[in-house]
C-alpha cells in the first residue's frame, strides 16, 4: 500500500485530500489535528500500521503492519446534517456492513460501534468530534477492519470474540478494494442521513434484534431486555421483563447477548 496506489484506487470517488503513513500512532489523532486545521470534507488518513490505535475510553486497537484496514475520515457536517450528528456512528457501521454483505458475508451491526460477522467482531468504529465553541465543526470517523488473520488479537486479550475477512472468506479482497467500497457506500448513505429510511436501514442490520441482551455502562446499573430497535436519534430501544420500553443512549456502552 502506498499513496499512489491509494489515490489510483479511489480516483473515481469525490473525496477531500488523502494522507498515507506506513506507520502512525493513531490515524484518529492525526485526523483530529488536521480537522482542527484545514482538512477539507471527506479527507482521509490511512496507515499500514498503528502503534497506538485506540478504541473507546482509550482501549487499545490492534493494527499490526500489513494486515488490516485502518483509516480515519473527516466530515465537515452541513447545516442540514448537524441536527443528526448522533447518527454518524450508524452511517459508518452501515457503510462497512453493506459492502461485506455484498461479499456474501452475514455482516451485522453490534450497536453502537462494531460490525460483526456471525457474532464475531470484524470492525470497530471510533467517532470523535472537533468543536468550535458550542458547535461541532468536524467529525472524525475512525474505522478498523480486520482483513488478514494476523490482524486479530490473541483471544485471551479480548472481551468479545473477533474475526477477520480472511477467516470468513478463503480469498478476501485487497485492502484498497475494501476501502473503496466502504467510502463509496458511505458517500451514498450520507445523502439520506436525515431521513427515516436511514434509521430503518440501520435497524435492519442490528445484531441481536428480538433477542435478550445485557447492556453495561460505567455510569448506570446493567440493563437487561429484549432489543427492539432504534429511536430517531440512533439511541437503542430495549423492552424489559415488565414490558416497559428502555432507551439506551450513546456512551461507553457494552452490549452482549445473554444466551
Ligand atoms: C472500538 O473500540 O472498537 C473502536 C476501534 C476503532 C479503531 C480505528 S482504527 C482507525 C482509527 N484510529 C484509531 O486509533 N482508532 C480508529 P471499543 O468498542 O472500545 O473496542 C476496543 C476493544 O476491542 C479492545 O479493548 C479489544 O478488546 C478489542 N480489540 C482490539 N483490537 C481489535 C481488533 N483488531 N479486532 C477485534 N477486536 C479488537
- If one residue of 31, 45, 56, 61 were mutated to test the ligand 1 pocket, choosing by the most ligand atoms within 8 A of its CB, it would be 61
Kindly state the helix (H) or strand (E) to which residue 135 belongs, with its residue range: strand 135-146
Query: Is the Cβ atom of 64 under 6 angstroms away from ligand 1?
Result: no
Centroid of ligand 1 to alpha carbon of 63 (angstroms):
9
Query: Is the Cβ atom of 111 under 6 angstroms away from ligand 1?
Result: no
Residue whose CA is at the smallest distance from ligand 1 atom 36: 162
Please count the CA atoms within 13 angstroms of the CA of 97 that sit on its side-chain side. 29
Q: Which three cell numbers stand for residue 149?
A: 488473520
Atom index in ligand 1 nearest the CA of residue 164 equals 35
Q: What are phi and psi of 94, to 5 degrees?
A: -65, -40
Can you tell me the distance from the alpha carbon of 132 to that of 97, in angstroms, rounded to the nearest whole number?
A: 32
The DSSP output letter for 158 is -
Query: Is the Cβ atom of 223 under 6 angstroms away from ligand 1?
Result: no
Instruction: Answer yes or no: pTM beyond 0.95.
Output: yes
Instruction: Report the b/e string of 88-125 with b at 16+ CB within 10 A.
Output: bbbbbbbbbbbbbeebebebbbbbbbbbbbeebbbbbb
Closest by Cα among 31, 35, 57, 45 to 113 = 57
- Tens of pLDDT, residue by residue over 195-221, are 999 999 999 999 999 999 999 887 778
Q: Which three cell numbers stand for residue 49?
A: 500500521
Cβ contact 67:147 at 8 Å: yes
Q: What is the mean pLDDT of residues 78-91?
A: 96
- Tens of pLDDT, residue by residue over 119-177, are 999 999 999 999 988 899 999 999 999 999 999 999 999 989 999 999 999 889 999 99
Amino acid at each position: 500500500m502506498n499513496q499512489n496506489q491509494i489515490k489510483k484506487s479511489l480516483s473515481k470517488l469525490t473525496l477531500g485530500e488523502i494522507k498515507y503513513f506506513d506507520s502512525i500512532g493513531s490515524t484518529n489523532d492525526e485526523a483530529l489535528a488536521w480537522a482542527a486545521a484545514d482538512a477539507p470534507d471527506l479527507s482521509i488518513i490511512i496507515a499500514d500500521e498503528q502503534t497506538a490505535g485506540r478504541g473507546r475510553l482509550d482501549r487499545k486497537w490492534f493494527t499490526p503492519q500489513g494486515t488490516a484496514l485502518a483509516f480515519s475520515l473527516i466530515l465537515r457536517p452541513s447545516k442540514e446534517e448537524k441536527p443528526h450528528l448522533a447518527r454518524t456512528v450508524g452511517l459508518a457501521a452501515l457503510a462497512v456492513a453493506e459492502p461485506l454483505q455484498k461479499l456474501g458475508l452475514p455482516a451485522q451491526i453490534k450497536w453502537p460501534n462494531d460490525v460483526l460477522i456471525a457474532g464475531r467482531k470484524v470492525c470497530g468504529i471510533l467517532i470523535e468530534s472537533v468543536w468550535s465553541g458550542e458547535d461541532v465543526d468536524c467529525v472524525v470517523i475512525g474505522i478498523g477492519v480486520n482483513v488478514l488473520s494476523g490482524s486479530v488479537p490473541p483471544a485471551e486479550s479480548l472481551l468479545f470474540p473477533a474475526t477477520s475477512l480472511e477467516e470468513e472468506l478463503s480469498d478476501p479482497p485487497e485492502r484498497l478494494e475494501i476501502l473503496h467500497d466502504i467510502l463509496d457506500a458511505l458517500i451514498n448513505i450520507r445523502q439520506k442521513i436525515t431521513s427515516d429510511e436511514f434509521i430503518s436501514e440501520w435497524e435492519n442490520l442490528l445484531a441481536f434484534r428480538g433477542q435478550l441482551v445485557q447492556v453495561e455502562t460505567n455510569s448506570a446499573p446493567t440493563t437487561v431486555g429484549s432489543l427492539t430497535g432504534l429511536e430517531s436519534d440512533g439511541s437503542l430501544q430495549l423492552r424489559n421483563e415488565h414490558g416497559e420500553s428502555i432507551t439506551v443512549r450513546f456512551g461507553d456502552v457494552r452490549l452482549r447477548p445473554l444466551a
